[in-house]
C-alpha cells in the first residue's frame, strides 16, 4: 500500500471525474481496463486478468445457485 492513500484515491478518481465533467472521452470498458492497468503498473503489482476473474465469479455464482435450489 502506498504511504499516501489520499494520493492513490485522487489518482483513481480524477480521470473519471475529468471525463464526466469535461466530456473529453467515454467512460467505457476500454477506459476502465486501461486506467486500472496503468494504476496497477504504477503500484508495481501484476494486473489481474479480468476475463478469468469474471469466469471464476460466474462459476461460483452458479455453484451457489445450484446448491440453493437443491435445498
Q: What residue spans define the domains of the chain?
A: 5-69
Report how far apart, in Å, the C-alpha atoms of 39 and of each of 25, 58, 59, 64, 70 are.
Answer: 18, 26, 28, 33, 43
Record the cell numbers describing residue 22, joined without a space: 469535461
Q: What is the mean pLDDT of each run of 10 residues along the chain (71 residues)?
A: 79 92 92 90 85 86 77 64
Which one-letter DSSP state was computed for residue 3? S
Element (H, E) at 43: helix 29-43
Q: Considering just the CA atoms, what is the radius of gyration of the chain in Å?
A: 17
pTM: 0.61
Per-residue pLDDT, 13: 92
Amino acid at each position: 500500500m502506498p504511504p499516501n492513500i489520499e494520493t492513490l484515491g485522487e489518482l483513481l478518481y480524477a480521470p473519471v471525474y475529468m471525463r464526466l465533467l469535461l466530456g473529453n472521452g467515454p467512460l467505457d470498458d476500454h477506459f476502465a481496463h486501461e486506467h486500472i492497468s496503468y494504476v496497477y503498473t504504477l503500484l508495481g503489482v501484476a494486473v489481474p486478468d479480468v476475463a478469468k476473474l469474471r469466469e471464476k465469479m460466474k462459476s461460483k455464482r452458479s455453484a451457489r445457485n445450484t446448491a440453493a435450489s437443491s435445498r
